[in-house]
Amino acid sequence: MSEIRLRYAGFAMFASRALSLATGLAFVLIITRSMSAEEFGVWGNIGDVLAYYTLLASMVPFWTGRFVARGLTGAAKTGLITNLAISLVFFILYVVLTPAITLAFGIREAYTLPYLISSFQVVEIYLLSALEAVIHVKEPHKIGLGFTVYEVTKVAAAYVFVMLMDLKLLGAVMALLVALSAQLAFYLRAMAENLGGKIERSYVKEWIKASFIGVYGAIGERIASLKLILLFVYGTQLARAYYGATQAIAGIAGYSAMLAFGLYPKLLMGGSKDDASTSLRMVAMLAVPMTTGAIALSDSYLTVLNPFYVEAKPVLVVMALVFFFGSFSSVLDNIVYGTEKVEEEAKIPLRALMKSGIFLLTTILYLYSLIALPTLFFILSALRPTPVYAALWLTLVDLVLGIVFLTVRYRIASRNLPFHIPWHAMAKYCLASVLMVAFLIVIPRPTRLSYAVAATLLGAAVYFAVLYAIDEETRSLLGHIVKRRSHLMGSI
């Protein structure tokens, strides 16, 4: 895997996520304009219920991908069959428990069919997770292509089932099933030649033995998410709305982390410290302008979303910084995961796993919760801030702890792989971003979606024009993008 391929994988993933902004909006408009408020609420609940049945979808694939990267024969096929077996258990549980769940939630019997049909998503998600683990270490750019297939198919299927056939909630559920099936077919075709060999029971034994790390991480994520419950209970639903609205905007800046998507498999297969530095440079190239742009146009973006949310501008400013530092944390996580070798001999010794960076990164979730949850509980329950300030306090806690744990991640990552931070390149990105922000400040503040998009594109043009003039690396990178563009489109 060459350096160009590292960039190629990152930009394929970034492009697919950027496309999802348009397809996601189209899908939401289709279903919200076709469903009643009651149906839309049930739609959200179906997704919430599915999340519990697919909680362990990545438990085995995490190790499958690492075994494939080590060149262990039969690992891909074994992982796929193992995840299929696990999915069938949860599929049966879903079908059996659905009547009781709908009854407990007070959901009308007429909606039972959409819940039951959604059960097939359980199997699809487990299979997709198993295949993505293999693709990630073999041809990571194809995950971006597969996601594009999913997004485009989802909108097309929703148009047919929801708009043309007027199936409403049932049509939305069927659209997701069809989209996941299309993505699954794409992955199976892409990875067919890697699914040879026989099923190795010894691999399954090792994966199950080490599966506690996946459960440990899943529990940690659930505990950390209690911060949103605290915000909802003590800050009211309005505070949660402010937080969600600003997160939706600032989260787009987090897409820059996708540019490091190819780093993990490359390090697993023998990458170097130069690859880590390249990924940091690529992420910074977009994270810096996207963050500063979100801050400069914060009031405009919130106005476009809903003028009601303009009051939450301070929350958006801090939230943008949260995602900025989070993007670099993601790169450091990839370095740690890619350089650990606990399973190199097709064995996963638990003692070594407990001492590894993999376990340390998972433990950070618990350390975060140990500090954040009591702090937030005290602030929200004792000070009783207004909804905007409640959301702001939560975001500030996220920012402070994000910076603290970024330094922790850096220490772990640099211990595994000493690498160079491209400070010189980052300084150029900051300079270009300052000029971009100066341009955005002098133009009229956009208050409509079309104008906001136009201002964003103009700002991006200014940024890259400046960067093209002062940075040789950018000129080289744009040349590679142009060269790879036809190849990327031809692979879909």
Return the structure tokens found at 225. Answer: 């998410």
Tell me what percent of the residues of the chain surpass a pLDDT of 90: 49
* CB-count burial class (<10 Å; 0-12, 13-18, 19+) for 483: exposed
Residue-wise pLDDT tens digits, 124-159: 999 999 999 999 888 888 998 999 999 999 999 999
pLDDT band per the 50, 70, 90 thresholds, residue 488: very low
Which pTM value belongs to this model?
0.84
pLDDT at 93: 95
pLDDT band per the 50, 70, 90 thresholds, residue 482: low
pLDDT at 305: 77
pLDDT at 25 over 60: yes
pLDDT at 158: 95
Question: What residue segments make up the domains of the chain, in order of their start?
Answer: 1-207, 210-492
Alpha-carbon distance 245 to 234, whole Å? 18
Residue-wise pLDDT tens digits, 27-75: 888 887 888 878 887 888 888 788 889 988 989 999 999 899 888 889 9
pLDDT at 210: 87
Residue-wise pLDDT tens digits, 231-265: 888 888 788 888 888 888 888 888 888 888 888 88
Choice between 88 and 44, residue whose per-residue pLDDT is larger: 88
pLDDT at 5: 67
pLDDT at 338 over 60: yes
| Helical (H) or strand (E) element with 277 | helix 273-296
Choice between 490 and 11, residue whose per-residue pLDDT is larger: 11
Alpha-carbon distance 48 to 50, whole Å? 6
Q: Among residues 262, 362, 287, 357, which one has the least CA distance to residue 12? A: 262
pLDDT at 8: 74
DSSP letters along 390-439, please? HHHHHHHHHHHHHHHHHHHHHHHHHHHS-----HHHHHHHHHHHHHHHHH
Q: What 3-state class would DSSP assign to 1?
A: coil
Alpha-carbon distance 98 to 32, whole Å? 24
**Cα dist from 444 to 312, 439, 451, whole Å:** 21, 10, 10
Greatest mean pLDDT among 79-88, 106-115, 267-276, 435-444: 79-88
Residue-wise pLDDT tens digits, 188-210: 998 888 888 899 999 999 998 88
pLDDT at 483: 62
Token pair 């024009």: residue: 465
| Residues whose CB is less than 8 angstroms from the CB of residue 292 and which lie 6 or more positions away in sequence, other chains included | 433, 434, 436, 437
Tell me if 59 sits within 8 A of 214, measured CB to CB: yes
Alpha-carbon distance 369 to 296, whole Å? 31
pLDDT band per the 50, 70, 90 thresholds, residue 396: very high
Choice between 424 and 1, residue whose per-residue pLDDT is larger: 424
Tell me if 238 sits within 8 A of 387, measured CB to CB: yes
Q: Between vectors from CA 75 to CA 69 and to CA 78, what angle results, nearest 5°?
A: 150
DSSP letters along 279-300, please? HHHHHHHHHHHHHHHHHHTHHH
pLDDT at 10 over 70: yes
Average pLDDT, rounded, for the chain: 88
Q: Among residues 257, 9, 51, which one has the least CA distance to residue 147? A: 9
Choice between 377 and 25, residue whose per-residue pLDDT is larger: 377
Return the structure tokens found at 198. Answer: 């026989």
Tell me if 275 sits within 8 A of 267, measured CB to CB: yes
Average of per-residue pLDDT across 93-109: 87
Backbone angles phi, psi at 34, to 5 degrees: -110, -20
